[in-house]
């Protein structure tokens, strides 16, 4: 065919690329330049080299935000995968009403995480929330822990709410992976004397690697760039303790530290890139075995 003849078809990628270049690639490169300045968003920017990056690592709040972001991801990503896989294994059995159950479990994932955070806040807020009043009703008000006052309990609530909301999403991907495994393989394993845990280890798990890869990578990216749920559930509190890097970037930008906030974004970029590349490498090697 006349592939090489130039025509309209030659330029069909250009509209998409133009949009991508203007609204993604250009700001991305512009951000690198901005990160080397002290720009406040209004007055003339001055080149200050790597000072923003040095400032970042000297700022206690910034270091705390890195810790919070990493802790949130370390809690969320593995837990989401374990819970999602457990749900999927349960739902993979021959039971009635599976479709409805799958729908219900997936439901929270389509709702805005910001709104979901507010809903949980109505439920869990100390001395005002539904759960508090319920305990009060039963004469147990004193044993309600004021979780918003402490860093550890605030983090725990954030992680659990996040896992609650998105377990359905990981479940659906794992379920698709499980259903793609041919039954013959389980039968063959059974003939070889492998059953239960052994067949899970040697048949299910290796064939589930593509699903694991998708879930691990999406959950790492999602949890390291967490924004909405923290905004509505703790607002970053107590103080700035549960503030994530995304929220820090926004607040710095609003605080007229435009140049500095782009430097934080670059640091965050590497913070996400490294675990994503590692997990992709690990799952690639595994799928070849």
Partner 1 sequence: MNTFKKMLIYLCVAAICLLCLIPFVILIILSLNTPQRVFYEGNMFLPDFYFQNFAEGWVKSNIGTAMINSMIITALAITIIIIFCSMAAYTIARFKYKFNTLIFAIMISCMMIPGIINTVPLYTLMIDLHAINTLWGMALVCATLALPQSTFIFHGFIKSLPRELEESAIIDGCSWFKSFWKIVFPLLKPASASIIILNGFGIWNNYAQAVFFLQDSKKHNVPQALSVYFQQFAGAKWNLMAATAVIAIVPVIAAFLLFQKNLIRGLTEGALKG
* Interacting residues with partner 1 between 207 and 236 (CB under 8 A): 210-211, 214, 217, 221, 224-225, 227-228, 231-232
Q: Which of 160, 181, 189, 253 binds partner 1 (CB under 8 A)?
A: 253
Measured in degrees and rounded to the nearest 5, phi and psi for residue 37 equal -125, 170
Q: Which of 107, 149, 205, 285 binds partner 1 (CB under 8 A)?
A: 107
Q: Which of 7, 49, 193, 196 binds partner 1 (CB under 8 A)?
A: 7
Give the whole-angstrom CA distance, residue 38 versus residue 124: 41
Assign residue 184 a region (left: φ > 0; alpha: ψ between -120 and 50; beta: otherwise): alpha
CB 272 within 8 A of CB 218: no
Q: Does 73 bind partner 1 (CB under 8 A)?
A: no
Q: Which of 81, 204, 242, 262 binds partner 1 (CB under 8 A)?
A: 262
Draw the binding track, 40-59, toward partner 1 (x: CB under 8 A; -: no contact): -x------------------
User: In this complex, which beta carbon is closest to partner 1, that of residue 16 or of residue 288?
Assistant: 16
Q: Does 34 bind partner 1 (CB under 8 A)?
A: yes
Measured in degrees and rounded to the nearest 5, phi and psi for residue 47 equal -70, 125
Q: Which of 40, 55, 70, 108 binds partner 1 (CB under 8 A)?
A: 108
Size of interface with partner 1, in residues (CB under 8 A): 92
Show contacts with partner 1 in window 133-192 (CB under 8 A).
133-134, 136-137, 164, 168-169, 172-173, 175-177, 180
CB of 113: closest distance to partner 1 in angstroms? 7
Give the whole-angstrom CA distance, residue 178 versus residue 206: 11
DSSP E strands, the chain? none
The CB density around residue 134, as the number of other CB atoms within 10 Å, is: 13
CB of 184: closest distance to partner 1 in angstroms? 20
Residue 202 tokens, joined: 């040697």
Q: Does 265 bind partner 1 (CB under 8 A)?
A: yes
Residue 21 tokens, joined: 């270049």
Nearest 10 degrees: Cα torsion 285, 78, 246, 126: 180
Show contacts with partner 1 in window 77-106 (CB under 8 A).
87, 90-91, 93, 95, 97, 101-106
For CA atoms 169, 170, 173, 178, the dihedral sign is negative
């Amino acid at each position: 065919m006349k592939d090489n003849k130039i025509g309209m078809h030659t330029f069909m990628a250009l509209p998409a690329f133009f949009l991508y270049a203007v609204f993604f690639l250009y700001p991305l490169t512009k951000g690198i330049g901005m990160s080397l300045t002290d720009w406040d968003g209004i007055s003339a920017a001055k080149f200050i080299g790597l000072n923003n990056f040095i400032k970042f690592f000297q700022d206690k709040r910034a270091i705390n935000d890195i810790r919070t972001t990493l802790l949130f991801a370390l809690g969320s990503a593995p837990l989401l995968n374990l819970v999602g896989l457990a749900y999927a294994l349960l739902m993979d059995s021959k039971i009635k009403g599976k479709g409805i159950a799958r729908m219900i479990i997936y439901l929270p994932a389509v709702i805005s995480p910001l709104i979901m955070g507010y809903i949980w806040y109505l439920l869990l807020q100390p001395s005002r929330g539904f759960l508090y009043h319920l305990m009060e009703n039963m004469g147990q008000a004193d044993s309600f822990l004021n979780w918003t006052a402490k860093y550890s309990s605030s983090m725990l609530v954030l992680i659990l709410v996040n896992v609650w909301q998105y377990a359905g999403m990981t479940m659906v991907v794992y379920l698709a992976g499980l259903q793609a495994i041919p039954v013959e393989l389980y039968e063959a394993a059974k003939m070889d004397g492998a059953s239960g845990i052994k067949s899970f280890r040697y048949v299910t798990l290796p064939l589930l690697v593509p699903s694991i890869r998708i879930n691990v990578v999406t959950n790492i990216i999602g949890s390291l760039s967490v924004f909405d749920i923290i905004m509505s559930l703790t607002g970053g509190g107590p103080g700035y303790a549960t503030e994530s890097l995304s929220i820090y970037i926004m607040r710095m930008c609003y605080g007229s530290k435009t140049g500095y906030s782009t430097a934080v974004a670059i640091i965050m970029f590497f913070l996400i890139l490294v675990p994503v590349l590692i997990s992709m490498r690990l799952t690639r090697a595994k799928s070849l075995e």
